[in-house]
Structure 1
Amino acid sequence: MEEEETGAQSRGRRRGGRGTEPQKRARDFILVSEFSEHVGPVPVMVKPEGGDGLFNTSSFSVRIMSSDMQRALTGGCFSFCEDTQMVLSERMDGLYAYVHYFSLYDINARGYVRQFAISYITSSLKKITDNFTDLLEKFSEVTKMLCCGNHKVFGKDVEHRLADLEFTKELISQEGWTAENTESSSLYKEFDFSKENVPERDPSVVESGMTEMKTIMESLTREMEKDCHQQMQLLLESKRRSFQKLMAQYSPAPPTNTNGISGQTTATICIYFPPCSLHHLV
């Protein structure tokens, strides 16, 4: 249903602001944003596709992600962040947004954290205020599903990193460890592998890295043992059963063999993740 142009939208265009034509964005839409380490805050995905019209999603992503709502490193210690939410307005566009912040964890990210936000954007503030509880519940359900898979992937990466560090510790503890007995390349032979040039050769550095990985693994184990994580596993199983039941309603009757026993049919669930940086994290 199209809504009439608000005074803020009209003023935005008269002042030469970034206000967009109301008919171009009459539909509400959802925006996923990420704080990229390389280019900063960027829009990742819009649903429905093209639903943002002429709205400047890049500028909006910078605004919401620069607020830095998530911090996974508290006092130098690794910890898991709870989701946070806020409601804001884009006065020049006459739009309002419910923004849901969450974090995914990556062994290669700074501080092992990647920050994301899912925004529900609409021209009606009343939609957000009247449905705030539902928005919070449904968006939390989505982020928990993402985090459930992400924690398993992150846990495997931490285990591999710890194994690498243990191997490195054993290697450098051996007497006579040099570039020659590790790598035949002339480049390695000519390089000075002293502790000053390669800090990773210092046993104290390796020990520090191992301690950090063990601490992260302990925190991750506690997080995955929480009731919410177990509830999410039950929710995923419930979704699978619901999908199978739905498929059975629209599928032809199962074949019957000569003994009069109905054959069994199985439904395959394919979860599609859009082409974005969330791929390798879940």
Structure 2
Amino acid sequence: MALNPTTTRDAAKAFAPDLVAFTPQEAVPEALILKASTVVSQSGIGDAPSVLVPWVREESATWAAEGAELDLTPPGLSQVQINVRKVTQFFTVSNELWNAEAANNPEVLSTSSMRAVTKAANTAFVQGVATAANPLVGIANTEGIIEGGNITTSLDPLADSIAQIEANGGAPSVILANPIAWGRLRNLKTATNANTSLLGAGTEDQGKRLFGIEVITSAAVPEDQMVIIDKNSIASVVSQVDVAVSEHAAFRNDSTALRTTWRLGWAVQHPDRLA
């Protein structure tokens, strides 16, 4: 006798709610955490658990004579703890708006929600301040970061900061800049009353690069600031981005609810490789 099991196709929607999961690279490609850190895990965990990332401090090597007993150098085993928090947006719209003909409102609203989540995540990643609800500290507020000083008429402070990061064992891989700060850099001239941009003399004028390092402009960076980053010095955890739709949460209002959630966290291993 053939069996006809009940499936998600036949069941009431409450038994098979709409949930779409995206990789962060697809859903939030503009997220700075993906561009300025090293993602070590992509698992969605709760507020209580944390991710422990092992790493090894660079201990000094020693010289030895032929046949001599070798010096014992314990490995510099260490770890960094990453707390993970959830950023989310939730709203309801009338079913008339959600199902409007000649419009693609569900896709538009979902995309808008993911942009909002990205904006909040970027702001926290760069300039977040630890609170009881969210212990994550923005990289620009990390204790021990190099203070590069003010750029006035030359790029010397920028060059010195890059050199200091390299002297500390880092390799600058990206520069995050506020758009206003980037614009002011482009306004620097080679000399008083000159019309030639300083960025075209000895650096690169094509594209957003400084001293060969990619520059990413973002309003999440505080105005008039730039952050030079060795992305290998920041470990991060990101989950998939979940977009869920329900017609039951606001059933009495004849409305549809949309919820977007994303979990992420980060920790700086070498603050002296950021400036």
Q: TM-score range by the shorter chain?
A: under 0.3
TM-score, L = length of structure 1: 0.26
Greater relative contact order, per chain length (Cα 8 Å cut-off, separation 6+): 2
TM-score, L = length of structure 2: 0.26
